[in-house]
Structure 1
Amino acid sequence: MLRKASLLVCVFFGGVLPLFLTVHAEQPTSAADTIDKQNTQDSKANAIANELTIATPQNDKVTTPQMNEATLDTHDLSVMGMYRAADVVVKSVMIGLLLASLVCWAVCILKSMQLKIAKRDAKKLLAHLVHSESFAQANQNLVQQKSDALQLLRATEHELKLTAKGPATDEALKERVVARLERVQASLSTHMNQGTGLLATIGSVAPFIGLFGTVWGIMNSFIGIAETQTTNLAVVAPGIAEALLATALGLVAAIPAVVMYNHFSRSITSYKAQLADILVAIMILVSRDLDRAHPQAKPLADLLNNKKAVAKAAKES
């Protein structure tokens, strides 16, 4: 019995007790390792979270310009590109302003040629009338010429023919000739003013038409902002640029129209002065012819001699 008990004690202390001690020794070590591992994992998670928190604004700053550039790249900001992307109303305004600008330049070219020819012919006619001795001589030498100012001579000739059919006084004849010449002069001035009213209208209305297109385009841009719920400048800028293009076209049409109108107003005023000089020259010829045919008319030498005799008698007295 003692031997069996000794054997059991030896087995217990030799095998079971070391195993038990080993198991209990490993359990505290495993718990400590587990805690250390959890602490390590927590620290790593916190570090990753901190890195993400710091990196998030930086990523936003980096990606935002890229989004803006990508948005801007989708819009063609050239003149034709903005026209194609514009609204139907804004397109209509742009087309109308371009047509108005073309009309202004067409009127400018035609009116410049018309005024140049008319003023040149009027200058030649005035010089011819000044050097003529009688109305018949002036009228005969201008048969082959073509000028609007010749209507003044034709009107004078017509009135002389009508007056020659019956008795008339010199004063009455002069009044009728002047009345006809003034009406012809007004008609020529009105004809020369044709087209300038269109320039004045375009010059005064074109900026407001362009402003209407701009207001309409900006209104559509704000509607787009409300629909997309974004205030990003890259989204808003193209629509506003398209709207402002209408105002620019309005100024392109209006500024040359105003300059042209002022230029032609001065030129037409100069032409009217030439017509007035022609009218005076014609009346001088008519008055000269009437004095030569008047029964009480005297030669100029006799009139001068009479004036000298009267002046001499006044001095002697």
Structure 2
Amino acid sequence: MDLAVNMDAATMSPVALFLQADWVVKFVMLGLLLASIWTWAIIISFSYRLANMRKATRRFEREYERADDMDAFHRMRGDSDIAVARVFSAGVAEWRRSTKNRTVDREGTRERLATSMGAAVASEIDRLSDRLNILATVGSVAPFVGLFGTVWGIMRSFTAIAGEQNSSLAVVAPGIAEALFATAIGLFAAIPAVIAYNRFSHAINRTEARLNRFADGFHTTLSRQLEGGA
């Protein structure tokens, strides 16, 4: 009896648990493993993207503050592939459309500038947060998928008990182990996804606030030019 128990314990490694599982539990494990890999790929790529965007945004803002000529600065940095540059370009484009005529509607120009840059900010935030819904989905669904594998493994254990009319540990251990392993993989996929989703959502909110501050500052600068008769 002791030898049999020791032999069973030797087959409880993760690889062995996967290989001895039936096709339903294997499907659940593979799906959760792929979800975990996908989650970590998004986490790594999104972290790298946010870090680069913060660095580029700080550099753009410093150069903008030192610029004396808006048109020259727009020619130099207006085509930069960063969110703040696109917000800036949206403001410049609307400014040129609104002030190209001899008579300028100052209040209408201010409203159109605010609307144009606000829409640009919203578009950039939508683009930035495009993949966060994947993290939210994995974080909310993965535990239930793992629970399905758990239930299936326990059902298999009860079926083995009924088939062999034996409730010893050697009979029920494989099914229970598969069930718990499926639950563990589900949690391994869900926990990082939930943590990353919350952290990235906070970072995106801060990015949106920063873009709005830049848009408000640029709007103020253009409003002063309107008051000066530009």
Query: Structure 2 length normalisation: TM-score?
Result: 0.91
Deviations 1:23-63 (CA, angstroms, capped at 9, x unpaired): xxxxxxxxxxxxxxxxxxxxxxxxxxxxxxxxxxxxxxxxx
Moved more, 188-197 or 71-80: 71-80
Return the letter of the residue paired with 2:118.
E
The corresponding residue for 2:124 is 188
1:177 alignment partner, one of 100, 113, 116: 113
Whether 1:163 and 2:119 are equivalent positions in the alignment is no
Shift in Å, 1:95? 0.2
Whether 1:118 and 2:53 are equivalent positions in the alignment is yes
Identity %: 37
Whether 1:148 and 2:83 are equivalent positions in the alignment is yes
Number of aligned residue pairs: 228
C-alpha change, 1:143 and 1:205, in structure 2 (3 Å) is closer
Distance between the aligned counterparts of 2:49 and 2:68, measured in 1? 30
C-alpha change, 1:231 and 1:144, in structure 2 (3 Å) is closer
2:178 alignment partner, one of 235, 239, 242: 242
In the TM superposition, what are the counterparts of 1:225-304 in structure 2 within 5 Å?
225-293=161-229
Shift in Å, 1:293? 2.0
Structure 2: gaps (5+ residues): none
Kept in 2: contact 1:135–1:282 (CA 8 A): no
Whether 1:88 and 2:23 are equivalent positions in the alignment is yes
Kept in 2: contact 1:134–1:285 (CA 8 A): no
Query: Structure 1 length normalisation: TM-score?
Result: 0.67
Shift in Å, 1:165? 3.8
Distance between the aligned counterparts of 1:285 and 1:139, measured in 2? 14
Kept in 2: contact 1:133–1:285 (CA 8 A): no
Return the letter of the residue paired with 1:178.
A
Shift in Å, 1:224? 0.8
Higher-Rg structure is 1
Moved more, 230-239 or 137-146: 137-146
Shift in Å, 1:144? 7.0
Structure 1: gaps (5+ residues): 1-64, 295-317
Whether 1:128 and 2:63 are equivalent positions in the alignment is yes
Shift in Å, 1:134? 5.2
Return the letter of the residue paired with 1:142.
R
C-alpha change, 1:189 and 1:258, in structure 2 (3 Å) is same
Larger RCO (CA within 8 A; separation ≥ 6): 2
Shift in Å, 1:154? 1.6
Kept in 2: contact 1:134–1:286 (CA 8 A): no
Whether 1:70 and 2:4 are equivalent positions in the alignment is yes
